[in-house]
Amino acid sequence: MADELVPRSDEFGLAKSDAAKVPITNHESSSLGKQLLGFWVTFKTMFKKVNTVQYPEVKEPTAERFHGRHQLNRHPDGLEKCIGCELCAWACPADAIYVEGADNKEGEQFSPGERYGKVYQINYLRCIFCGLCIEACPTRALTMTNEYELADDTRAKLIFEKDDLLGPLRAGMVPPPHPMYPNTDDGNYYRGEVTGSHPSQGIAKND
């Protein structure tokens, strides 16, 4: 046990007994002139260009992989990728995500396969934007956008529902619920073999 209590002796590459003998002198502060140099630094800085970004008028792009608001993605034919597995909710350290899954029914298919996320809520008062939910998601349904302007004035508005989180319908997508692409199963979807919608699925968005 005594070994564990021995303090670190190689702090400066010196033995402990040597370290105690080395006088601590701050050579930078040795002369008054050098100390007064700081005043010149601040004075000089006054005439430099300021770094401030005038935020609401000027918006700088975030870093490419900035953790912003979440998004629920869609397959290329418009079906939702979320399968309501709740892994994101389990991964969340802040307990910010609430998911309720439900079965896809005949004529009421939201996602490929058996299940879809019926209720999907993220509470942005709790979310810490750590991205563990994104790592947990098995279908890459949940990703993060670069959107950071999430302030609001009531608590209720900061609980985002599924409608708020779902990604937009792009060209060629059919708004769910609609059946899966003919002659495919969920495996085809996950392997990326479905690249667009089929006319039998419904009227696709075309812009």
Partner 1 sequence: MSNAELIGQDPGWVIALKGVIIFAACVFLTIMSVWGERRIVARMQQRSGPNRVGKFGLLQALVDGVKLALKEDLIPKTADRIVFVLAPIISTTACFMAFAVIPLTGEVNFFGHQTAMQLTDLSVGVLYVLAIASVGVYGIVLAGWSSGSTYPLLGGLRSSAQVISYEVAMGLSLVAVFIYSGSMSTSEIVAAQDRWWYAVILFPSFIIYAISMVGETNRAPFDLAEAEGELVGGFHTEYSSLKFALFFLSEYVNIIAVSALATTLFLGGYRALPGLGFTEQWLGGWFTLVWFFIKVLAFFFVFVWLRGTLPRLRYDQFMKFGWKVLIPFSLAWIMIVSILRVMSQRESSNFLVVAFIFSVALIYIGITSLTDRAKVKTAIASKVINSKEPDFPVPEIPNSRAEQLNG
Q: Does 33 bind partner 1 (CB under 8 A)?
A: no
Applying CB under 8 A, which of residues 1, 5, 63, 171 lies at the interface with partner 1? 5
Applying CB under 8 A, which of residues 45, 154, 183, 206 lies at the interface with partner 1? 45
Contact between 150 and 127 (Cβ < 8 Å): no
Nearer to partner 1, 23 or 168 (CB): 23
Q: Does 51 bind partner 1 (CB under 8 A)?
A: yes
Contact between 102 and 116 (Cβ < 8 Å): yes
4 token code pair: 């564990």
Pure H helices in 52-167: 87-91, 132-136, 162-165
Distances from the Cα of 181 to the Cα of 72, 159, 194, 205, angstroms = 20, 33, 7, 16
Contact between 83 and 141 (Cβ < 8 Å): yes
* Nearest-approach distance from CB 40 to partner 1, in angstroms: 9
In 3-state terms, what secondary structure has residue 28?
A: helix
* Nearest-approach distance from CB 150 to partner 1, in angstroms: 22
Q: How many residues bind partner 1 (CB under 8 A)?
A: 23
Applying CB under 8 A, which of residues 13, 43, 107, 153 lies at the interface with partner 1? 43
Nearer to partner 1, 27 or 191 (CB): 27
Task: Measure the CA–CA gap between 3 and 24, rounded to whole angstroms.
Answer: 29
Q: Does 17 bind partner 1 (CB under 8 A)?
A: yes
Under DSSP, the state recorded for 105 is: B
Q: Does 58 bind partner 1 (CB under 8 A)?
A: no
Q: Does 13 bind partner 1 (CB under 8 A)?
A: no
* Nearest-approach distance from CB 27 to partner 1, in angstroms: 13
Q: Is the dihedral of CA 180, 186, 189, 194 positive or negative?
A: negative
Q: Does 6 bind partner 1 (CB under 8 A)?
A: yes
Residues in contact with partner 1 by the rule CB under 8 A: 5-7, 17, 19-21, 23-25, 38-39, 41-43, 45-46, 48-52, 54
